[in-house]
Amino acid sequence: MSKNDKKNGSLQTLKKVLKIIGRYKLLLALSIVLATLTVVLQLYIPILFGYAIDGIIAEGKVDFGSIETYLFKTLILIAIASIATWVMNAINNRLAYHVVRDIRAKAIRQIERLPLSFLDSHGTGDIVGRVIADTDQLSDGLLLGFTQLFSGIVTILVTIFFMFSKNVVISVMVIALTPISFLVARFIATHTYAMFQKQTYTRGLQTALVEEMVGNQKVVKAFGYEEKAEARFDVLNKELKEYSRKALFYSSLTNPCTRAVNNVIYALVALVGANRIMAGGLTVGGLSVLLAYANQYMKPFNDISSVITELQNALACAGRIFELIETKPERKDSPQVMDMAKGNVTIDDVSFSYNKEKKLIEHFSLDVKPGTRVAIVGPTGCGKTTFINLLMRFYDVDAGAIKVDDWTITDVARHSLRRNYGMVLQETWIKNATIRENIAFGKPDATDEEIIKAAKEAHSWGFIRRMPKKLDTVINENSLSQGQKQLLCITRVMLLLPPMLILDEATSSIDTRTEVKISEAFDKMMEGRTSFIVAHRLSTIRNADVILVMKDGKIIEQGNHETLLAKKGFYEKLYNSQFEHVAV
């Protein structure tokens, strides 16, 4: 990425952040007004000190009355400025947190709308890092930025006004030397932003790796992958350390460099001011005011340069968040709502592939009548699960159409399509909540009687009633065995009883004895319902009305169990290969 691209990227990100800040115009206006009030009061204080100093005329000639008056006024101004500063900081905090809340909410809503292709191609840790860690970094940068930026700009403008009211020559000299400080800060900031971009990107990769390794620690240990995992982490850790070190090094140069320039300007003001006093064009009190203003004028530049680190880091993090927010979402959903389906499913010349250069499903056609049990078998990678993804519209077809009853599924709202399916996957998902909440995930208003009935039919009530608080027991991913988690997932569907079912290796983690009971429950549940059953264990789909044998994304054989065995084709080879070890 070129320097111009980085600069434009930083500027575009800043504009996006400012656009969101613009929603809170009242808070922003109050903050600016209070910043102005605080700065004006603080900058008027040196004038009062100057008048007090001029009240000390000579030894034995001190105007104590005027000095006391000016000091009393000074105390009042300090008190008012302190209160205004406290209120301004409170408003800035509120503003920053509102902005970050809005950005984080937009990110979460965007994740819900993103296609599975995006989620499948990005690490969970990286996405979580953008929503949590990057928004926190943005929050810190905005808090520091608002506080320093508003006050700094107002300080510079008001200081210039007061300086010119005291002495034009010295004021012009100070302003003329200011660009030097700007150029130094800009040179350093250019390098800083690039380093912070690399830092946040690498931190996202590291977060994704940690999430991956921690979440799959059993697999890591089982395959002795610990050393390789450590090596991968060490590489990212070293890169992160290097980028962080360079970012902090460049950013740490800003403050001392600008302060050095500012100290030179301060010394020149003192020198020129002393000469003006000797010439009778300036009083000692006037010089003290100008020196205070010269220091005060440069202080905002120092303050702003000191927060460049946070601001640059915040913009780099904001860039990653906006990249997520602006990712193209799923195709716009239709407002049309589909009624509860009868269960007629038609697949008309469908083609689909994840990678457009590598074909997967081509010219796939199928007509399923209501109440039909359709089993889908075939070798790994033949397109079985992909077919399920297309039925549920987790992915949209590249060509052709899928219809449920008389509805083309791309012409109806996704939620209205998906509520017609009950799906049990091989991959289980349990949320950190009570067993009741986990079972009633799709039907929050379900009664305990309904939940217990579904649990008994799914044969999960046996272990649920042994839990410490039964349905009120709080569980998470690590609380149950894989088989128990799968039973809970089956119970969810038992509770809903939708018109169509999808069972994708639904009994893969259940022991044979329980599987027989579950199969009986499934048989009862599938009565009168269109069902799609994906299975590797062919013994579980003997009773299917239609068995589709898939290979390379195409249906190569179709029929019931006996018919397909009689054909002595690919299905017979698959079936016999699973029972060869029994004969031995």
Residue 180 tokens read as 């030097």
What gap in Å lies between CA 381 and CA 553, rounded to an integer? 8
How many CB atoms are closer than 10 A to CB 312?
27
Residue in the structure block whose two tokens are 């290969």: 577
Q: What is the distance of C-alpha 235 from the center of its chain?
A: 24
Instruction: Report the C-alpha gap between 256 and 302 in whole angstroms.
Output: 9
Domains along the chain? 3-325 (1.20.1560.10), 345-583 (3.40.50.300)
**Mean pLDDT over the full length of the chain:** 77
For residues 538-543, give the mean pLDDT: 68
Orientation angle between helical segments 226-278 and 168-215, nearest 10 degrees: 170
CA 77 to centroid of chain Cα atoms? 45
pLDDT score of 348 = 85
Strand (E) or helix (H) holding 70: helix 64-113
Q: Is the pLDDT of residue 581 over 60?
A: no
Q: Write down the pLDDT at residue 584.
A: 37
Phi, psi of 427 (to 5 degrees): -85, 120
38-42, 241-245, 289-293: least confident range: 289-293
By mean pLDDT, which of 109-113, 216-220, 226-230 is the weakest?
A: 216-220
pLDDT at 580: 53
Residue 582 pLDDT > 50: no
Cα–Cα distance measured from residue 530 to residue 346, given in angstroms and rounded to the nearest whole number: 12
CB under 8 Å to 517, separation ≥6 — which residues? 459
Only one residue has tokens 């301004």, namely 88
For 435-466, write each residue's pLDDT tens digit. Answer: 888 888 888 888 888 888 888 888 888 888 88
CA distance 561 to 545: 8
Answer with the residue of higher pLDDT: 61 or 386: 386
Helix (H, G, I), strand (E, B) or coil at 58: strand
Q: Is 2 helix (H, G, I), strand (E, B) or coil?
A: coil
Q: How confident is the model at residue 146 (pLDDT cuts 50, 70, 90)?
A: low
- CA nearest 531: which of 420, 395, 406? 420
Q: Which residue has the higher pLDDT, 182 or 25?
A: 25
Distance CA 37, CA 147 (A): 14
Of 272-281, 424-433, 506-515, the range with the lowest mean pLDDT is 506-515
pLDDT of res. 182: 67
pTM of the predicted structure, to 2 decimals: 0.59
Looking at residue 309, its pLDDT comes to: 61
Distance (Å, whole) CA 472 – CA 490: 19
Q: What is the pLDDT of residue 583?
A: 42
| 460 vs 347: CA distance, rounded Å | 35
